[in-house]
Amino acid sequence: MREQNKNYLLRQMQAKSEKKQQALELKKMQANILDEDTRQFEEAEAKKVEDKKLFWYKHKLELQRQIDEKQSRITNVEMSTAEAQINRDLLDLVSETLAKRDVER
């Protein structure tokens, strides 16, 4: 009987030890899974940030291209003969004012 009790107690202690070991292994697995999920999430967030930066950079380039294109289209526009006749008085006034300014310098 004494031997049976001893064996029973040893089996209980071994079962308890195995349960503890399994619980530790489960915790380690959960920690590894959590670490992997965290790493994947951080990578996804970093990719989102990079994608957004790239989007805004391309947008900036497109806007700059549009600005450059518009500025290249702006040239010295001359009036047609009809426009010059309509604005003759104003053109004469501007010419006189510019001439006075040049003389005063």
Q: Read off the pLDDT of residues 63-75 as tens digits, 9 standing for 90 and up.
A: 999 999 988 887 7
Write out the DSSP string of the chain.
Answer: -HHHHHHHHHHHHHHHHHHHHHHHHHHHHHHHHHHHHHHHHHHHHHHHHHHHHHHHHHHHHHHHHHHHHHHHH-------HHHHHHTHHHHHHHHHHHHHHHHH-
Per-residue pLDDT of 48-105, as tens digits, reads 999 999 999 999 999 999 999 988 887 777 878 888 888 888 889 999 999 999 888 7
* Domain count for the chain: 1
Indicate whether 9 belongs to any domain: yes
Indicate whether 70 belongs to any domain: yes
Range of the domain at 50: 2-74
Indicate whether 52 belongs to any domain: yes
Indicate whether 64 belongs to any domain: yes
